[in-house]
Amino acid sequence: MNFKRLLPESAALRAGSALVLVALLAACSGTSKPKPAELPANPASLGVRQAWSVRISEVSFPLTADVSGDIVTVAGSDGTVVAIDARAGRETWRANAGATLAAGVGSDGTMAAVVTTNNELVAIENGKVLWKQKLSAQAFTAPLVAGRRVFVQTADRSISGWDGQSGRRLWIQQRPGENLVLRKSGVLIAVGDTLVAGIGGRLAGINPGNGTSRWESPIAAPRGTNDVERLVDLTGSVSRSGDTVCARAYYASVGCVDTLRGQLLWSKPATGADGLTGDESFVYGTESDGSLNAWRRADGERAWQSTRFKNRVLTSPLAVGRSLIIGEDTGSLHFVSREDGALLNRVTPDGSAITVAPVLAGNTVVVVTAKGGVFGYRPE
C-alpha cells in the first residue's frame, strides 16, 4: 500500500506531574457533577443486530481502533494487539507489544504500530513484532501506518517518519514544546500525498517523504492567561470529505480546512474535547455538556442541536446510514437520527464504559469497552 492510496481522559500533562495537580484541583473544587438527563424508553425503531464479539485485555488508555477495509485492529492496556476480520468476527492474528500501552493502534491492515508507556514505538506484522524504537517523548496519538512507513507524533510536538520494514528513522520534524499537552489522541492522517497533523490549534500539511512543511491553517488560537486556558490542541477523530478535513480544537472550536490549498474554510466556537464525524453535508460532534451538534459543512452554521444526553459523558459519534452511533461511559451504545438527534435504539454491549469512539469496518460497527469487549454490530 502506498501513501496516496489512503485517499479514501482528557488530562493535561506537564513533565508527568500536572495530571496529579489537575485531579487535586477537581477534588477540592467542591462542585458536584450535574445530574444526567433522564433517557426515554428505548423506541427500538432501528434494527440493530450483534454479529460477533472478541475479547482483549482491559482498555484504560487513550485507545483509537484503526480500520483498513474489513480489518479492524484494536489493542488492550497490557500490550495485546489484535487484528479482526469484521466480516466474520474472526481474529486474523494476535500479538503483544511486550509492555503496557500509552497510544495505539495504527494499521494498514497488514502492519500495525503502537506506542508503549516506555516510550517505545513497536511495529507488528502478522502477529510478530518486527522492530522496536525508542522515542524522545511520550506519545498519546496512535501512529499512522501508510505506504510501508510509520508516522508518529509525540507529546513534545515532534513528528517523525520511520521505515516500516527496518524501523530506521527517515526524518523528524521538531517544534517548540508547550508547558502543557493533552493526554488525548491528536490528529494524524493521510490525505492524498500529504501527511496532515494537528499541531497546537493548527492543522498542518507535511511532505511524508522528508518531513518538510507544506502549509499550516489555524482552527483555533490560544487564549487566556495561563497554560491550561491556552490549551487548544486538535484532538480526536476528524471528518473528511474529499480534500476537506474538519477537526476539533480542545474546548475552543470546530473548523474545516481545504487541505489542497491549506486554507481555513470556517471555524466556529465549540466546547467539546472529542473528535468529529460527518458526511458531505454535515459535521457532527458531542460537546462537554453532553449535547449533540450538527454543523453545516459548507459554512459551519449549526443545523441542529440535541440536549437529550445532557450532562452525560459521550464518545465522539460515528455516522452510519441514517444514524449517529455514540458510546457512553455508563456502557450504553446509542443510535440516534442524523436528521435531528432523535433516539432510534440503544444497546448495552457488556455493561462497562464505552470511551472509545465506534468505528466502521465494512458493514460492521465495531465497539470496544473498558473491560476489553470488542463487539460487531450491524444496523439495518
CATH assignment of the domain containing 86? 2.130.10.10
Q: Has residue 38 been placed in a domain?
A: no
Q: Of 366, 326, 329, which Cα lies nearest the Cα of 342?
A: 326
Q: What's the number of domains the chain is made of?
A: 1
pLDDT digit string (tens) for 122-174? 999 999 999 999 998 999 999 999 999 999 999 888 999 999 999 999 999 99
**Mean pLDDT (whole number) for 227-233:** 80
CA 193 to chain CA mean position, Å: 21
Q: Has residue 30 been placed in a domain?
A: no
Q: Rounded to whole angstroms, what are the CA distances from 283 to 241, 254, 287, 304?
A: 10, 9, 13, 11
pLDDT score at 179: 67
Q: Has residue 31 been placed in a domain?
A: no
Q: Has residue 17 been placed in a domain?
A: no
pTM for the whole thing?
Answer: 0.90
Q: Has residue 284 been placed in a domain?
A: yes
CA 159/CA 195 separation, integer angstroms:
10
Q: Has residue 34 been placed in a domain?
A: no
**Mean pLDDT (whole number) for 44-65:** 90
With a cut of 60, say whether residue 247 has pLDDT above it.
yes
CA 65/CA 158 separation, integer angstroms:
22
pLDDT score at 60: 81
Give the number of other CB atoms < 10 A from CB of residue 343.
Answer: 20
Q: Has residue 16 been placed in a domain?
A: no
Q: DSSP readout, 107-172?
A: ESSSEEEEEETTSEEEEEETTEEEEEEE-SS---SPPEEETTEEEEE-TTS-EEEEETTT--EEEE
Cell match 459554512: residue? 299
**Mean pLDDT (whole number) for 221-249:** 88
Q: Has residue 201 been placed in a domain?
A: yes
Q: In terms of pLDDT, which residue wins out, 24 or 108?
A: 108
pLDDT digit string (tens) for 74-115? 999 999 999 999 999 999 999 999 999 998 799 999 999 999
pLDDT score at 3: 52
pLDDT score at 145: 96
Query: For residue 228, what pLDDT band results from cuts at 50, 70 and 90?
Result: confident
Query: For residue 183, what pLDDT band results from cuts at 50, 70 and 90?
Result: confident
With a cut of 60, say whether residue 27 has pLDDT above it.
no
**Which domain range does residue 373 map to?**
3-9+45-379
Q: Work out the mean pLDDT of the chain and round it to a whole number.
A: 89
With a cut of 90, say whether residue 37 has pLDDT above it.
no
